[in-house]
Amino acid sequence: MCHNFSVKIHSSNRCQRSYWLKKPILSGQYRHWLVDSGSLTLRLQQRYPDFKVKPTLVTYAKMTMDEAATLSVSPRNAAMIREVLLMGNNQAVVFAHSVLPRKSLRGHWLGLSRLGNKPLGATLFADPQVMRTPLRYKKLSPQHVLYQQAAQFLIDPPPYLWARRSVFTLNYANIMVTEVFLPQILAT
């Protein structure tokens, strides 16, 4: 049975805690990547001269209950789900999962549905009017849907993955971006 602190993920009967932390407690080597509130895209471009974005999924689907609650929208509403791998040294270093409610894909953000291999972060951080909520953090276990989505791109998935998320807002339009840090980001 799910309690108030849990939500059902997609059509699965498995309940998962929706609580995201205000601080990445015991995140070890991932901490400096997690807490940096600047543009992750820019930081990766500076670290990896061959940085690129590799789209893995762009579709319209229902949000999870947790995502809908964070975005303050009905979970029955479809949203554009965009998932990409952020690549450095020809290896996936971050799995990014973005949720763009349909009502947010107009005005200034109309073109976001056609980004292709362009980084979403570059678009969001380029506009000084875009506001960002504080980062929230989660240590994802193999039972979490985001872990499962990210782990499919790993040869040897670790026991857990660290993720962070925030909501970007412009003129009452919201986009939630979740970044799952893959082990290769720790390689020098």
Give CATH for domain 20-186: 3.40.1410.10
pLDDT at residue number 39? 94
Domain regions of the chain by residue span: 20-186
pLDDT at residue number 2? 37
pLDDT at residue number 15? 40
pLDDT at residue number 62? 92
Instruction: Give mean pLDDT in consecutive 10-residue pieces for the chain, a chain of 188 residues.
Output: 34 52 94 95 95 95 92 90 96 96 81 82 87 96 96 96 96 93 91
Q: Which residues lie closer than 8 Å to 139 by C-beta, 6 or more apart?
A: 26, 27, 160, 161, 162
Helix, strand, coil shares of the chain, percent, nearest 5, are 30, 35, 35
pLDDT at residue number 135? 97
- Distance CA(165)–CA(133), nearest Å, equals 9
Helix (H) or strand (E) holding 132: strand 131-132
3-state secondary structure of 57: strand
